[in-house]
Chains A and B, each alone.
Chain A
Amino acid sequence: MTHKKRKATELHCAAKLYARECSEGKLSRREFLTRATALGVAAPAAYGLLGLSAPAARADTPRMGGTLRIQMDIRAQRDPRTWDWAEPANVCRGWLEYLVQYNRDGTIIPVLLEDWEANDDATEYTLMVRQGVTWNNGDAFTAEHVAHNFERWCDTSVEGNSMASRMGAIMEDDALRDDAIELVDEHTLRLHLSRPDITLISGLADYPAAVVHPDFNGDPIGDPIGTGPYRPVSYDTGISAVVERNPDHTWWNEGNGAWLDRVEFIDLGTDPAAWVASAEGAEIDMLYETTGDFLGIFTAIGMEQSEAVTAATLVMRFNQDSEPYDNRAVRRALQTAINNAEVLELGYSDLGIVAENHHVCPIHPEYAELPPIEMDRDAALEMLAAEGHAETEFELISSDETFHADTCDNIAAQMRDAGINVRRTVLPGATFWNDWLTYPFSATSWAMRPLGVQTLDLAYRSGVAWNESAFSNEEFDALLDQANGIPDADERREVMARLQEIMQDEGVAIIPYWRSIFRHARPNVHNAEQHPTLEVHYQTYWMS
């Protein structure tokens, strides 16, 4: 395979294409930045493509010192690649750094990499490892360490290793493919992919992709070897976690962060009312995530709100292997009974944008606009009656998390308004996941992924591990393959339009909204705005 070596200033052709789309209004600025930087275009250059200059750094000079107290769940720690929540990653982010980082503005910037390049068909990536980085045990950081991490990420024998699902293109037989990584020199390595994959770099920014030392024993707290400027002081699951600036280590990025002396994460339970009480008592400075009616309350007590628009959503999917949802007309009827705008208003406090029962968000680059869907309760009941299900009781299952339960309660209420019998079942969060793939009709929360095809690949392709709707459609699979191979977003959008239509026509799921996520912090906390994937980059936060 030939690889065209490009200079850092030379821009990826696809990136230029995106820039054109962006200026034509086909691509929002955020998506353009995500995609262009994922292809190796530096953030300032990406802004340059749009004829803009990168946003200037904050005028205020950060102040050294201070202790930041953040309310956040403290879940049990484990091996980073098996993290299934962002919270454990957030605590460790001060010493376990990433190759690249996804920013609030949608850009992907290099961290432990100096730069990366992809070839034109995205089948070969060259990673330039940052020089001058040392581990806090004194070892120098090299390309070999990066290769070691790729090997760890591809190891499927470890239960719950979610990185493996992102590394498909360099894997073979449940492990790293032998010839997938080529060590060019001490600070350069090249990845040879078995198929085009433009999502590889975004995957490296995900929270389980923390880079660990070769001697790492699986416990990031007990064995905190990392490259970052902080180190753990204590970690009590369910109670609190404390990190402090590491005085025995020189950080490669010294002077551009690590302002805070100490960060305390405090777990006050899942009840936001307890957080309010604590914030009122001036015992916390920042809330990890604030929701619904509490936004107003936290603002009223003098905290500042920040928002991130995301493609995260709640999917009320039908499992097509179970009665009566194997009947397309039943699924379509239930979709028709629901007014998605009302679900957003009553189930998620109107904090997001209305979705259209398919899993591609308007903020995805390849999103195709379809005619609006229509709610018609009488028609819904008629359709059910025609299938002999007018009297059937439908059971809608959800976990007990507030917005899951609220959203489903609203959907149930709307179904009842249409004259459909419905029963709600709420399961505790821990129990819910036992059968999440096989519930006949239930709600699953899906996190945001930068590209529309990513979630379709993960959840709706026939037979994939997370296909909870048991959706199996040959045309859909074929089109999805086709979409994965189309670099041009315009061309791809045509395919996507058809994919989205199929999802709607087949009544795969009720997908009512795309939710925005929020964070509150005291006015003296800076640089700490909400991140679309809920990351806490405390090494860049500072307090005045």
Chain B
Amino acid sequence: MEAIGWTEILGRMAMQLLPVWLALAVVFAISITWKRRLGLYGKLFDSRVGMVGFALVMFWVFAALFADMIVTHDPLSQISGMRNATPGSPLRDPSGRYEYFLLGGDALARDVFSRMVMGAREVLRIAPFAAMISFMIGISLGLPAGYLGGRLDTGLTFVANLVLAFPVILLFFLLVAPEIQETAIPRVMAGILFIVPVLFFTVLLNARFFTQPARRNLYVGAVMVVGLWAYSGLAFNLDPLGVWGMSPNLLNVFVAVVFVNAPTVFRIVRGITLDIKTRDYVAAAQTRGEGTWYIMMWEILPNARGPLIVDFCLRIGYTTILLGTLGFFGLGVASESPDWGSTINQGRRLLTVYPHAAIAPALALMSLVLGLNLLADGLREESLKD
């Protein structure tokens, strides 16, 4: 069989990505049709920058979702004769497999295209969730620190600054080391960090529905059941049903990423809270006699959402780059993992002779981070227009 040219490679890749195109088309059609009813999200479709960013991000989200349908080969299987194969190389003996390595093979004869697509799943499995948990921790601690002030504020600010004074890379070397996995440290840290989202939602709903005990009990109860179920699985690997769970390795990386990000979020939230708590509507709520948590969660937080959403997008991008850095230093991730950081690191060594193995995941990573940045920019612009 002959090797195929770039036109055909691109055509075949577009074919493989068909589910992604369909999903994107549906999302955009729906969003643009009803953009006036969709609040800040709808306004995104007024900004060209925002739309481009959103499209890039959603492209990778859908690629990750439909990865099983898109990949042409198993991302871990090595096929004899395909070491460092150039893009479009045919398989020596397809026998039921896809006939080509669309973006070539890497140094271990694995399909670069499939690894890139599967890598999206690896990256999007960690980065957004780590950013989300960092945000919940930052918010849960930043709101009281800014609103209540005093000793609590001094103490929390000191701890946040302590973590921030740590050279990030040193922290990762210390926390992600295999020796640490044998100790209780990651479990304890996960135990502390992962309980915060559960508490966050409990307090959030409790403050809102305090006056309606029936609804409150229902909502809070539901949060507690689901939250503690996930908590037991994620933090302690004790989920009785085995739905939630994380390998010790992944947990370690996850905890370290959250640990590094949370203090920054804390500082942002605290700063915004200090600003907002002097506003009239907060004073009004205070005179109405609303509870402290209600004011924080339902008066201050919604008004702080603009900058927080923007920072959230940026932080996912930053976390993606950070995970790549870990891959660069050979920390944390499993050896065969197709995540972009490790793939770039393995491919870069041979960049001058076989560029495809490193360029494909590098472009993927850059486009995702670029998309997140553009999305953040679009959101910022549109939220400022209010």
Direct contact of A and B (CB under 8 A): yes
One of A273, A408, A426 near B349 (C-beta < 8 A):
A273
Bitwise, A381-416 to B at CB < 8 A (1) or not (0) is 000000000000000001010000110111011101
Q: Which residues of chain B are within 8 angstroms of A346 by Cβ–Cβ distance?
A: 78, 80, 83, 108-109
B80 adjacent to A426 (CB under 8 Å): no
A425 adjacent to B108 (CB under 8 Å): no
B177 at interface by CB-CB < 8 Å: yes
Q: Which 8 residue pairs of A and B lie closest in terms of their CB atoms, listed nearest first?
A: A426-B335, A413-B78, A273-B349, A424-B335, A431-B178, A400-B330, A346-B78, A424-B336
Closest to B179 in A: A431
A342 at interface by CB-CB < 8 Å: yes
B330 adjacent to A406 (CB under 8 Å): no
Q: Which residues of chain B are within 8 angstroms of A412 by Cβ–Cβ distance?
A: 76, 336
Measured CA separation A347–B76 after assembly (Å):
14
A414 shortest CB reach to chain B, Å: 8
Measured CA separation A271–B336 after assembly (Å):
19
* 26 interchain pairs, CB-CB under 8 A: A271-B349, A293-B84, A293-B350, A293-B353, A293-B354, A294-B349, A345-B83, A346-B80, A346-B83, A346-B109, A347-B108, A349-B83, A409-B336, A410-B78, A410-B108, A412-B76, A412-B336, A413-B76, A414-B78, A416-B74, A416-B77, A423-B334, A424-B336, A426-B330, A428-B177, A428-B330
Closest to A297 in B: B353
B353 adjacent to A296 (CB under 8 Å): yes
Q: How large is the interface on B (under 10, 10 to 19, 20 to 34, 35 or more residues)?
A: 20 to 34
Interfacial residues of chain B within 63-94, with CB under 8 A of chain A in the complex: 74, 76-78, 80, 83-84
Interfacial residues of chain B within 155-183, with CB under 8 A of chain A in the complex: 177-179
B188 at interface by CB-CB < 8 Å: no
Q: Which residues of chain B are within 8 angstroms of A276 by Cβ–Cβ distance?
A: 352
A427 at interface by CB-CB < 8 Å: yes
Measured CA separation A434–B349 after assembly (Å):
29
**With contacts A297-B352, A410-B108, A413-B78 known, is A425 near B334, CB below 8 A?**
yes
Closest to B333 in A: A426
Number of A-B pairs, beta carbon distance below 8 Å: 74
Q: Which residues of chain B are within 8 angstroms of A345 by Cβ–Cβ distance?
A: 80, 83
Q: Which residues of chain B are within 8 angstroms of A413 by Cβ–Cβ distance?
A: 76-78, 108, 110, 336
Q: Which residues of chain A are within 8 angstroms of B77 by Cβ–Cβ distance?
A: 413, 416-417
B108 adjacent to A409 (CB under 8 Å): yes
Q: Which residues of chain B are within 8 angstroms of A405 by Cβ–Cβ distance?
A: 335
Measured CA separation A241–B108 after assembly (Å):
35
Which residue numbers of A lie inside 8 Å of B, CB to CB? 271-273, 276, 292-294, 296-297, 300, 342, 345-347, 349, 398, 400, 405-406, 408-410, 412-414, 416-417, 423-428, 431, 434
Q: Which residues of chain B are within 8 angstroms of A296 by Cβ–Cβ distance?
A: 353
Majority-rule SS of A interface residues? helix
Q: Which residues of chain A are within 8 angstroms of B348 by Cβ–Cβ distance?
A: 273
B285 at interface by CB-CB < 8 Å: no
Measured CA separation A276–B353 after assembly (Å):
12
Q: Which residues of chain B are within 8 angstroms of A428 by Cβ–Cβ distance?
A: 177-178, 330
B216 shortest CB reach to chain A, Å: 44
Interfacial residues of chain B within 104-139, with CB under 8 A of chain A in the complex: 107-110
Measured CA separation A423–B334 after assembly (Å):
9
Measured CA separation A410–B351 after assembly (Å):
22
Additional 19 contacts, C-beta under 8 A, given A413-B77, A425-B335, A426-B335: A272-B349, A273-B349, A276-B352, A293-B350, A296-B353, A297-B352, A297-B353, A345-B80, A400-B330, A409-B78, A409-B335, A413-B108, A413-B336, A416-B77, A417-B77, A424-B336, A425-B334, A431-B177, A434-B179
B334 adjacent to A424 (CB under 8 Å): yes
Bitwise, B344-358 to A at CB < 8 A (1) or not (0) is 000011111110000
Closest to A406 in B: B108
Q: Which residues of chain A are within 8 angstroms of B336 by Cβ–Cβ distance?
A: 409, 412-413, 424
Measured CA separation A427–B97 after assembly (Å):
33
Measured CA separation A296–B349 after assembly (Å):
13
Q: Which residues of chain A are within 8 angstroms of B351 by Cβ–Cβ distance?
A: 273
Q: Which residues of chain B are within 8 angstroms of A349 by Cβ–Cβ distance?
A: 83
Q: Which residues of chain B are within 8 angstroms of A409 by Cβ–Cβ distance?
A: 78, 108, 335-336
Measured CA separation A372–B206 after assembly (Å):
72
Q: Which residues of chain B are within 8 angstroms of A294 by Cβ–Cβ distance?
A: 349
A476 shortest CB reach to chain B, Å: 33
Q: Which residues of chain B are within 8 angstroms of A434 by Cβ–Cβ distance?
A: 179
Closest to B329 in A: A428
B325 shortest CB reach to chain A, Å: 15
Q: Which residues of chain A are within 8 angstroms of B109 by Cβ–Cβ distance?
A: 346
Measured CA separation A408–B108 after assembly (Å):
11
Measured CA separation A42–B109 after assembly (Å):
48
